[in-house]
Structures are given as structure tokens and as C-alpha cells.
Amino acid sequence: MYDCQTDSCTDFSFAFFDAVGCARPLAGTLTATPATPDDAASLSDLSTYANGLGYRSDLAADSVIVHGISLADALALNARFAEQLIISCDLRRDPPVRFG
């Protein structure tokens, strides 16, 4: 990893697979809010779509939170709903990368 503030580089290591050989992908939480008040109906559409993909989502009047979403599905949701919704996503690996 490169640290631009100190102009230094740190090596890091992680395993691409868990103990039984399954890939450990990025996963996390996606949050969507309407781009304009007229776009609020798209929140329900995004929630329904995410539930159809097998994700749990929390729908509120002004946002949707999708839990445990993968990178590929987050990108697909963004491509499908980006014109109506402001989408942000926090993805991580479990366990996190160890810096050395």
C-alpha cells in the first residue's frame, strides 16, 4: 500500500481463499437516497430488486440500505439505478487485510 502523505510504501498480505477453498469476495453495505424528491419511488424498486437477488434491505422514506452486498451486485445496482438515486457503498473483506 502506498501512503502519499509520507511518500512510503507498506507491504500487505491476504489470502484469496478461506480454509475450505472458497473465494472471499468484497461485501458490505449499499446505501441509496433519491437524487431529487421526484425519484423517491425508485427506492422501493431498488429494495425489491435487491431482495430478489437475495439481499436483506431496509427501506425508509428517504433511503434504502442493502446489507451484505457483493461488489458485482453493487455495481449492477448502481448501473441500473444511478440516474434516479445517489448510491454509496462500503465494501470490505472478511477477515481484513493485515498490514506488515
Average pLDDT of every residue of the chain: 81
Instruction: Report the pLDDT value the prediction gives residue 17, as an integer from 0 to 100.
Output: 52
pLDDT tens digits along 11-59: 544 455 555 556 667 889 999 999 999 999 999 999 999 999 999 999 9
| pLDDT for 48 | 96
Q: The whole model's pTM is what?
A: 0.71
The angle at the Cα of 90, spanning 72 to 55, to the nearest 5 degrees, equals 55
Query: Contact 25/83 with Cβ under 8 angstroms?
Result: no
